[in-house]
Structure 1
Amino acid sequence: MQKKIFSLDEHQIFLQGPVVVFKWKNVKDWPVEYVSSNVEENLGYKKEDFLLNRIKYGDIIFEDDLIQVSNEVSNYSLSERNMFEQEYRIVKSNGEIVWIYDYTTIVRDENRAITHFYGYILDITKHKRNEEALRRTEKLNTIGEFAAGIAHEIRNPLTSLRGFLQLIKNGQIKEEYKDIMESELDRIESILNEFLILSKPHLTQYNKKDVHVLFKQILPLFETQATYNNIQLVTEFDLDELMINCNENQLKQVFVNFIKNAIEATSNGGVIKIECKKEQNELCIRFIDEGSGISEENIKRLGEPFFTTKENGTGLGLMISFKIIEEHGGTIQVESQLGIGSIFKIKLPFC
């Protein structure tokens, strides 16, 4: 018995699918010259309403997205590209607003002038909803991690304070208790202040500054501590001005944090070198120490909230530093070897 062979009409298969094809003119509101037959099934509009110019393609774009879509089309049109991709919202015939992915091909005449666009659009609303749900979940997880971290960090000094208060109630009053209690309260305040810096949005004012000047102001703060720990602070700066657009106080906070960390890591004495050089049109600042080093596993976690390799650290200082450098358009890279030392490298754009 001979098997029956079925021939598949690719065009029909395409028209039964979710991708709707439009061809519109490159004039105001984008009147439609062609639309695939599945437009009614997918968007609810009748094909003839587009072809008879009752509805133009610009009419179905959600009004809040129309300016953005128009600007993007104009920008892409000025380039030599022959296609581009967009994501925006359109309004179906029943009033439902849906997200679409639009793959657009540009049609040009013999003079390279744009005459038409072909758009292949696909409803991605479910995908967008899943993305938003994932973002909400990640945000809740982050809040949970922060809350757990703060509770853990504050619980330790609170436990200590409760213990000393109990001793005082029992009549055991010593002057040294007051100093310890004050120190623990300062620690709680420091943790909360660092958390507020991370969580509070604020407008930052940027000014042109020479990095030489910033280091000249902060390095004397560490001279006594470095001498006491048998550490030599060495600087190697380019002689030319190294001007960057920055918030002076924020960058000082980052530099102070890195120098402080380097001194704490170099507990057995040694050299801490700070380099400031111009490299490939960027400012490159290196903090090089001969300390204990950081394992490869821990390097990957640097900048995470409440992750620290220090006994009394919170991890928030480094996290704030990463955030500040990112807001300045820069990057931080870390190289380290256990028992040899670490290099923290900051790259920042010049003015």
Structure 2
Amino acid sequence: MIHDTKKDERASVFDAIYEANIGSYLGVPVYLKNGKMFGTVCAIDPEPYAFSKEEIETMEKLSSILSVLLENATKSSYNTVDDKLMRLEKLALLGQLSAGLAHELRNPMQSVKGFVQFLFEDQTENRFRDIVLTEIDRMDHLIHDFLLVTQPTAPKRGYYDINEIVFETVELIQTEATLHNVELSISVDCDQFDVHVDRAQIKQVMINILKNAIEAVGENGQVTIDVRTLNDKEVTIEIEDNGAGIPIAILGRLGEPFFSTKEGGTGLGLSISKRIIQEHKGSISFENKKSGTKVTISLLK
């Protein structure tokens, strides 16, 4: 006796339809651009019903729309992945380049610096000597920033009061704020809140953000620093200025290496800051306010 398996499959399908109380069914396949079927878009009625020509055409149009949406969603996903891979490749290549340049440039720079100091050692004041030494130091600092972006060091953590870190950092930046007639104000909502951080690195982040804020507000501007405890495990540092704000179109690119809105800027300051906060398992965000920009740094105990 020959057993018809296909007949059994058809019977089980019909049984499932009856159990689901399906009186009428219209299914239109959804195809992707490569010809593969993604699935079907279905219309079901518990009562027996003959679908009209217009209803069938509507379902076919809906199938076409879904096909386009799925194709665009897939493209967007692939583009995002490709973009991230390109950035990683860029940083890896830059890491090799910066390590080599740091070694090849720093040695002759130190030699030049030494010769300049020797040539003018008898002169207490010399404008050209000071310019040369300042530019050499600036080049060395830029090389240092390249290395931080491409080959960051692991945080050397300890438990420190975040209020002390904030007040010490503001004290360091106060001179620059005074030169620009910028008013700095600090507000804290607790006497002490210890965080597990690299003290020097968090100061560096705050200096980078505060310098940007001071430059953004210009003469007679205002910058506020608010330290807020969200709970017994998390604290935020909000740095807000009353400058012109950041164009919405570029908000998402802040912190990207070599992207800067400042003339002659490298974008490395924010990139370093973002990486430091990520290494601390915290977060940093940027947003436009009614007047100016607010940067929020979140840190954990």
> Under TM normalisation by the shorter chain, which class is it?
0.5 to 0.7
| 1:68-103 C-alpha deviation (Å, 9 max, x unpaired) | xxxxxxxxxxxxxxxxxxxxxxxxxxxxxxxxxxxx
Contact kept? 1:294, 1:336, Cα under 8 Å: yes
When residues 137 and 267 of structure 1 are mapped into structure 2, their CA distance, relative to the original with a 3 A threshold, is closer
SS of the residue corresponding to residue 194 of structure 1 reads: helix
- Greater percentage in helix: 2
Query: Please, which of 89, 102, 109 is the counterpart of residue 140 of structure 1?
Result: 89
Query: Please, which of 190, 204, 218 is the counterpart of residue 239 of structure 1?
Result: 190
- Structure 2: state its 5+ residue gaps: 10-81, 106-125
Partner residue, 2:73: none
Partner residue, 2:244: 292
Is 1:317 equivalent to 2:266 in the alignment?
no
State the Cα distance separating 1:195 from its structure 2 match: 1.3
Letter in 1 for 2:227: C
2: CA distance, partners of 1:224 / 1:201:
29
| 1:164-198 C-alpha deviation (Å, 9 max, x unpaired) | xxxxxxxxxxx655444433333321221011122
State the Cα distance separating 1:345 from its structure 2 match: 0.3
Letter in 2 for 1:308: S
2: CA distance, partners of 1:342 / 1:329:
23
Q: Counterparts of 1:63-212 in structure 2 under 5 Å?
A: 139-143=88-92, 176-212=127-163
Query: Please, which of 283, 303, 307 is the counterpart of residue 235 of structure 2?
Result: 283
SS of the residue corresponding to residue 253 of structure 1 reads: helix
2: CA distance, partners of 1:202 / 1:289:
30
Is 1:341 equivalent to 2:289 in the alignment?
no
2: CA distance, partners of 1:314 / 1:306:
5
1: CA distance, partners of 2:286 / 2:87:
26
When residues 220 and 345 of structure 1 are mapped into structure 2, their CA distance, relative to the original with a 3 A threshold, is same
Return the structure number with greater relative CO, CA threshold 8 A, min gap 6. Answer: 2
2: CA distance, partners of 1:7 / 1:235:
78
State the Cα distance separating 1:200 from its structure 2 match: 2.6
- Greater percentage in strand: 1
SS of the residue corresponding to residue 7 of structure 1 reads: helix
Letter in 1 for 2:181: N
1: CA distance, partners of 2:86 / 2:177:
45
After TM superposition, the score normalised by the length of structure 1 is: 0.51
Partner residue, 1:329: 281
SS of the residue corresponding to residue 228 of structure 2 reads: strand
SS of the residue corresponding to residue 249 of structure 1 reads: helix
SS of the residue corresponding to residue 242 of structure 2 reads: coil
After TM superposition, the score normalised by the length of structure 2 is: 0.58
Is 1:221 equivalent to 2:220 in the alignment?
no
When residues 221 and 143 of structure 1 are mapped into structure 2, their CA distance, relative to the original with a 3 A threshold, is same
CA-atom RMSD, angstroms? 3.4
2: CA distance, partners of 1:340 / 1:190:
33
Instruction: Give the aligned length.
Output: 202
2: CA distance, partners of 1:135 / 1:8:
52
Identity over aligned residues, as a percent? 33
| 1:237-284 C-alpha deviation (Å, 9 max, x unpaired) | 013311110111111111111111111111132211000011144201
Contact kept? 2:222, 2:241, Cα under 8 Å: yes
